[in-house]
Amino acid sequence: MKIVVLAKQTFDTEAKITLDSQEKINREGVNLIMNPYDEFAVEEALRVKEKHGGKVTVVSLGEAKAQDILRQALAMGADKAVHIVVDELEETDEYTTATILAKALSGIEYDLILAGWRAIDDGSAQVAGRVAEILGLPMVNMVIKLEVETGKAVASREIEGGYEVLEVPLPAVVTAQKGLNEPRYPTMKGIMQAKKKPMQKLTLADLSLATQEVAPKVRARKYFLPTPRVQGKIITGEPAEAAATLVRLLREEAKVI
Amino acid sequence: MAGGIWVYAENQNGKFKKVTFEMLGAGRQLADQLGEELCAVVIGHGVGELAATLGEYGADKVYVVDSPELARYTTDGYMLALSKLAREHQPAVIFLGYTVQGRDLAAHVAQRLGTGLCTDCTGVNIEDGQIVFTRPIYAGKAFVEAVFAEARPVMATIRPNALPAAEFQPGRKAQVIESSATFGAGDIRQVVREIVCQASGRPELTEADIIVSGGRGMKSAENFKILEELADVLGAAVGASRAAVDAGYVPHSMQVGQTGKTVSPQLYIACGISGAIQHLAGMSSSKVIVAINKDPEANIFKVADYGIVGDLFEIVPLLTQEFKKLLGKK
């Protein structure tokens, strides 16, 4: 089973967001991690490999630092990493990213492509779907349980109010939702081995893509921070009294009941 | 004039998702400003009679794609149906809800149509003749305004509960256009084997007007019962913080936060939640926040409109009693 995982480096979930002097998102001093949903995807790929044999390749598009998450995936047990470096692009959107990833994937053999269902930074939840569309593959989104058999996958995916079980032929794209598994930590041995594993670097030129071919369809024109919430009233008094006051304020002052 | 402002009217068991009416509200304004028609698209099987409701919520035209193969949602089936319709009629704009179904469908259709997609939008405006979308990033820790340069159709998914719903005008009629969809063998590759609903009778977290949420301070799965009792009096949904999910008290589907659901209810009642930044990111767009926590230093109090410092096991049942009295329930 040849498995490809698409992974993205994101800000830590605890990161505070500020704007820089150009009014863009300030990346200085922010702790970077593997997108948590992609970590579930890496873990699942390793589990499928452990059960069926095969090879796991992790692919990431991003700046130089993104190799940290690729090293992490290799240390967890992935076999190979592909890092697509696109420093020349000033602006990107999900169309850009998907076009580049799909082009890179067309040079890799796969039976299954795994990815997180969304990244916790832009929350856009569309790159995997676009990649599936470009490559002509069936997709199952937000998977919480995956069984791979010869030529097909049976996946349970989260839907509102429950879940549904789908069967799709392989190769397919499957995105991971929290609950799918518990990602392993890299071991010391894994970290040592990761240093010897192959990390391929690709550029747009290597993929024979011109910058205009991957020009974004959507452009950001302004970033801003939310108005901070201010602390409201602390309701004091005996519990029964406080509860009654709160209910009264919600009705009369806040008017939400 | 182009082919209109389209709203994908997501329906489940013969009922539209609330976000459908919110999109029709935003779509109506755009349509009026741009001199376009407001169109709704209904996909499914036996869904023709739903079209009338969409007229009453402002749609000028309703496209109905009805086929036995579309009785259940599949990515392939719905993607083929919607992209075929869009190719035929060339809409200027397509809106879908940022729901499980909407975002799956939107990504595929956007790629099929070779266009962009703004996801999870909380604002839609026209400035200098361009549609400007506002959407949260980093789970609401920042926002971005985005525009489409040339790509058409302009596509966006809209966050439920973020925009006001369209006005209901009983008896208002839309022109209904039936459209066909035929599928060849292998066109729909997802085979639905089973649908398991764990219906609690409570509203969806992302659509709920009121949410009662519990954190690590709940101490056990059983204790969530007191939140459920309060939620049932209020017709609210029950949520949880990551700490409560990671402790195994409740399933992940209930998690509110950066690695869970982002919610925007009218009222959010946080019980035993300390207010980690990852949780605040998911709920700070709530209109009114109430915090109940033993620790007066808890971060949650810094964002709460109303706070009670105290034992939630004592306070929450008292609140339930008070709300019952107020709402005349037994």
CB contacts of A164 in chain B (<8 Å) are: 192-196
- Number of H helices and E strands in chain A, helices first, is 6, 13
Tokens of B123: 């604002």
pLDDT band (50, 70, 90) for residue B330: low
Determine the pLDDT at residue A40.
98
Residues B45 and B67: their CA atoms lie apart, in Å, by 5
Reported as a pLDDT band with limits 50, 70 and 90, residue B13 is: confident
CB spacing of A159 vs B147 below 8 angstroms: no
| Cross-chain residue pair A231–B301, CB shorter than 8 Å | yes
Contact between A239 and B253 using a beta-carbon 8 Å cutoff? no
Per-residue buried b or exposed e for B174-202, using 16+ beta carbons within 10 Å of the residue's own CB: bebeebebeeeeeebbbeeeeeeeeeeeb
- Are B5-179 and B205-327 equal in CATH topology? yes
Mean pLDDT over each residue of chain A, to the nearest integer:
96
pLDDT digits (tens, 9 = 90+) for B241-294: 999 999 999 999 999 999 999 999 999 999 999 999 999 999 999 999 999 999
Assess whether pLDDT exceeds 90 at residue A185. yes
Q: Do A219 and B146 touch (CB under 8 A)?
A: yes
- Compute CA B52 distance to the chain's CA centroid, rounded to the nearest angstrom: 22
- With an 8 Å Cβ cutoff, are A36 and B306 in contact? no
Name the residue with higher pLDDT: A107 or A54: A54
- For chain A, say whether B326 makes contact (Cβ under 8 Å): yes
- Torsion angle of alpha carbons B230, B234, B237, B241, nearest 10°? -50
Chain A touched by B305 (CB under 8 Å)? yes
Whether residue B302 lies within 8 A of chain A, CB to CB, comes out as yes
Say if A128 is an interface residue toward chain B (CB within 8 Å): yes
pLDDT at B152: 94
Q: What is this structure's pTM?
A: 0.96
Chain A contact for B15, CB < 8 A? no
Integer-rounded Cα Rg, in Å, for chain B is 21
B118 inside 8 A of chain A by CB: yes
**How many angstroms away from the CA of B61 is the closest CA of chain A?**
28
**Domain boundaries of chain B, sorted by first residue:** 5-179, 205-327
Task: Give pLDDT, residue A214.
Answer: 97
Tell me: is residue B260 an annotated ligand-binding position.
no
Q: What is residue B329's predicted lDDT score, i.e. its pLDDT? A: 75
Its ipTM equals 0.96
Strands (E), chain B: 5-8, 11-12, 15-16, 38-44, 61-66, 93-97, 118-121, 123-127, 130-137, 142-148, 154-158, 175-179, 191-197, 210-214, 237-240, 267-271, 288-293, 306-309
User: Min CA distance, A198 vs chain B (Å)?
Assistant: 31
Q: What is the pLDDT of residues A134-155, one digit of tens each?
A: 999 999 999 999 999 999 999 9
Residues with Cβ within 8 Å of residue A228, at least 6 apart in sequence? none
Phi–psi pair at B215, nearest 5 degrees:
-120, -155
Neighbours of A205 (CB within 10 A): 9
What CA–CA distance (Å, rounded) separates A74 from A104?
19
- Show residues of chain B in contact with A218, CB under 8 Å: 116-118, 146-148, 151
Which residues in chain A touch residue B118, judged by CB atoms under 8 angstroms apart? 218
Tell which CATH architecture fits domain B205-327: 3-Layer(aba) Sandwich (3.40)
Give pLDDT, residue B316: 98
* Closest chain B residue to A223, measured at CA: B144
Q: Is A42 exposed, middle or buried (0-12, 13-18, 19+ CB in 10 A)?
A: buried
| pLDDT at position B116 | 98
Type of residue at B164:
P
Domain B5-179, CATH number (from 3.60.20.10, 3.40.50.970, 3.40.50.1000, 3.40.50.620) = 3.40.50.620
Nearest CB to B191: which of A158, A166, A220?
A: A166
How long a stretch of residues is chain A? 257
Question: Residue A4: is its pLDDT beyond 90?
Answer: yes
Query: Amino acid identity of B50?
Result: L
A187 touches chain B (CB under 8 A): no
